[in-house]
């Protein structure tokens, strides 16, 4: 093994040596500059701009005492091509190559300035794009927010119902709640939305897109929150229920006054998680004819082929999730205030 | 009806089984108004289970519970006992105060709110009336200055005194104490003992399950020694602690404690 490895090493080093040698030889050769320029011109007129740049870059920097004109010409032509390719960084770098050798070259200086100008107008174009997309996106975002808020209102109530059903001693209710969780946690939300919006009409039940979306999201998140709430209720010390009962409270009173209020703090982190996921899951309802943030961004992107729309949508989602995270942290702190000594 | 002569609580043949184990085995007990009973015995002897059965926190398998002369809490169907309707059970519990070994204060409520909770939620008293009662009870256990704090900031002894005030706020006819000092640091036992002692001096009827012999010696009218689900001995403290008592097991138990 060792022998073969060192054998390979030897072959590689030999090849390297040869490569370096030929490199020096090539440098020593005088390049036929005229033919290079001609070749580049041909490629450029054929529309092969990349090829033209690759040809021009072969023009070497002048040796000391040599005429620098061909080098400067080649680089400026390169910079122009790069500029037309919108490769502003590369064009700038090429101009700087010239300025490095000839700091006073006015052509390179001027071109550099105009690249800078172009850069600024690009920012302007970005701002223009933003102004163009934002109204549409914000309208979509408003719908997303509405969906999120509706689901946030429905799912904790649904979740609480499912949780209480799961821990009740009334068998049919327990079974029903188990079934709901099994069904809605076990199938994709996308499928559920499709089923409600496209599937149910076949059975004669038709919903408007918004209603279908809220039903789908509401049921799905109720199922998830149901398990979270059940866990939180069951994690409250059993003695609390006994103490409440010993005072003479009914099961309902004990739950409402004693047990459930003690779950708020421990509910906040997982529920916050779910709601953050919810904000992003609303994007799925764009598939059932809902025009919300994702759908708006998609439309803008497809109309203008402009990724600014997607970037802006991402930023709006981030703003939503950030604000909600912040709010949940505050609520969690307040909910647990009694634990602070 | 003259209730003065009538026992407050009467247990007849109370039996409670947990799967194979018979925790309470046909226990009979009469508690007269104003009486203070102390139940002692090794752990696992069924003392706590019996006490909890009085409050329906444990459902008995057989027996009769009479409260103020009425048979209460269970309906007999096909020879099996079924717990009565929730409303009935809650009504009974409201008349019986219970204090737990681990206090079980409501951590999300202030001390005052803890004591107000019973009158407010169970007895549906107004905010003002409930607060008045709560303040009175907190005064009784000497914790008025702690009314605005949350239980997390209290010592064990203070927590137990709040728990006693919380039970008292319901104006119960009977108080059950389930090892009220067992979870306390030794130096905190005294304050809780004194609180219960003061309550006894007021004439409250109480049944205390404890390992603390002070209760048996100083405030019991009768001491009950329980073992393996049955009462072994039911005596006055004087007799119970005298060496004349010819029960080897009790003497062994007491010797182990001392």
Pick from B91, B105, B117: CB nearest A257: B117
Enter the ipTM: 0.92
SS3 A296: helix
Confidence at B87, pLDDT banded by 50, 70, 90: very high
> Residue B145 contacts by C-beta under 8 Å, 6 or more apart in sequence?
none
Q: What is the CATH number of domain B9-257?
A: 3.40.50.300
Exposure string for B194-209, b = 16+ CB within 10 A, e = fewer: ebbeebbeeebbbbbb
Kindly determine whether residue A250 and residue B90, on different chains, have CB atoms separated by under 8 Å.
Answer: yes
User: In chain A, what are the domains?
Assistant: 2-121 (1.25.40.10), 123-339 (1.10.3720.10)
In chain A, residues with a C-beta closer than 8 Å to the C-beta of B97 are 246
Residue A28: what pLDDT?
A: 47
- pLDDT over 90 percentage in chain B: 75
Q: What angle do CA B110, B152, A326 make, to 5 degrees?
A: 85
Mean pLDDT estimate for chain A = 88
Residues of A in contact with B54 (CB under 8 A): none
Identify the pLDDT of residue B235.
Answer: 80
Q: What are the angstrom distances between the C-alpha of A207 and each of A111, A210, B114, B126, B158? A: 61, 8, 48, 47, 59
Question: A-B interface: how many C-beta pairs under 8 angstroms?
Answer: 73
Beta bridge partners of B12: B64
Mean pLDDT of A247-251: 95
Residue A18: pLDDT above 60? no
Q: Do B98 and A258 touch (CB under 8 A)?
A: no
Alpha-carbon distance of A206 to A213, in angstroms, equals 12
The minimum CA-CA distance between A327 and chain B, rounded to whole Å, is 21
> Tens digits of per-residue pLDDT, A259-283?
999 999 889 999 999 999 999 999 9
What does the pLDDT average to over A224-240? 95
Q: Provide the pLDDT for residue B230.
A: 87
Note the pLDDT of residue A125: 84
Would you state the structure tokens that stand for residue A320, as one six-digit string? 């939503």
**Of B87, B171, B74, residue with least CA distance to A252:** B87
Distance CA B172, CA A94 (A): 94
Q: What is the mean pLDDT of chain B?
A: 90
- Identify the sign of the CA torsion A106, A107, A110, A111: negative
Q: Which residue is closest to A252 within chain B, CA to CA?
A: B86
The residue to which tokens 């306390």 are assigned: B184
């Amino acid at each position: 093994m060792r022998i073969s490895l060192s054998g390979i090493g030897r072959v590689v080093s030999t090849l390297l040596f040869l490569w370096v040698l030929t490199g020096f030889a090539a440098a020593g050769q005088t390049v036929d500059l005229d033919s290079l320029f001609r070749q580049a011109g041909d490629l450029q007129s054929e529309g092969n701009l990349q090829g033209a740049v690759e040809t021009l870059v072969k023009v070497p920097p002048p040796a000391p005492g040599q005429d620098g004109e061909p080098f400067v010409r080649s680089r400026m032509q390169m910079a122009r091509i790069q500029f037309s390719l919108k490769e502003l960084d590369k064009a700038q770098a090429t101009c700087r190559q010239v300025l490095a050798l000839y700091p006073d070259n006015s052509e390179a200086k001027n071109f550099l300035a105009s690249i800078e100008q172009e850069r600024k107008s690009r920012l302007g174009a970005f701002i223009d794009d933003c102004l163009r997309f934002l109204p549409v996106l914000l309208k979509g975002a408003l719908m997303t927010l509405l969906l999120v808020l509706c689901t946030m209102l429905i799912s904790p109530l649904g979740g609480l119902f499912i949780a209480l059903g799961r821990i009740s001693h009334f068998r049919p209710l327990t079974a029903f709640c188990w079934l709901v969780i099994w069904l809605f946690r076990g199938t994709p939300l996308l499928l559920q939305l499709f089923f409600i919006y496209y599937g149910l009409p076949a059975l004669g039940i038709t919903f408007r897109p918004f209603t279908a979306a809220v039903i789908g999201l509401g049921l799905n998140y109720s199922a998830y929150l149901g398990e979270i709430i059940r866990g939180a209720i069951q994690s409250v010390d059993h003695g609390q229920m006994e103490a409440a009962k010993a005072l003479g409270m009914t099961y309902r009173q004990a739950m409402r006054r004693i047990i459930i209020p003690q779950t708020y703090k421990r509910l906040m982190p997982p529920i916050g998680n779910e709601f953050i996921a919810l904000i992003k899951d609303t994007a799925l309802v764009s598939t059932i004819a809902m025009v919300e943030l994702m759908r708006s961004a998609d439309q803008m992107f497809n109309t203008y082929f402009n990724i600014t729309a997607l970037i802006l949508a991402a930023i709006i989602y981030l703003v939503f999730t950030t604000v909600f995270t912040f709010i949940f942290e505050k609520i969690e702190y307040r909910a647990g205030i009694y634990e602070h000594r | 009806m003259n209730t003065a002569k009538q026992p407050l609580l009467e247990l007849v043949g109370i039996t409670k089984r947990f799967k194979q184990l018979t925790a309470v085995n046909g226990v009979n007990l009469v508690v007269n108004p104003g009486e203070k009973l102390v139940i002692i015995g090794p752990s696992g002897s069924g003392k706590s289970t019996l006490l909890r059965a009085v409050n329906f926190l444990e459902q008995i398998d057989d027996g009769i519970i009479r409260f103020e002369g009425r048979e209460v809490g269970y309906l007999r169907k096909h020879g099996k006992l079924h717990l009565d309707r929730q409303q009935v059970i809650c009504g009974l519990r409201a008349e019986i105060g219970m204090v737990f070994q681990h206090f079980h204060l409501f951590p999300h409520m202030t001390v005052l709110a803890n004591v107000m909770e019973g009158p407010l939620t169970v007895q549906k008293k107004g905010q003002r009336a409930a607060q008045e009662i709560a303040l009175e009870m907190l005064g009784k256990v000497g914790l008025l200055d702690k009314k605005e704090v949350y239980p997390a900031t209290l010592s064990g002894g203070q927590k137990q005194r709040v728990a006693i005030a919380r039970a008292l706020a319901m104006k119960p006819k009977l108080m059950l104490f389930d090892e009220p000092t067992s979870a306390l640091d030794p130096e905190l036992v005294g304050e809780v003992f004194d609180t219960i002692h003061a309550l006894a001096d007021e004439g409250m009827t109480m049944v205390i399950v404890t390992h603390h012999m002070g209760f048996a010696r100083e405030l019991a009218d009768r001491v009950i020694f329980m073992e393996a689900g049955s009462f072994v001995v039911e005596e006055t403290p004087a007799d119970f602690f005298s060496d004349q008592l010819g029960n080897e097991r009790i003497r062994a138990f007491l010797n182990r404690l001392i």
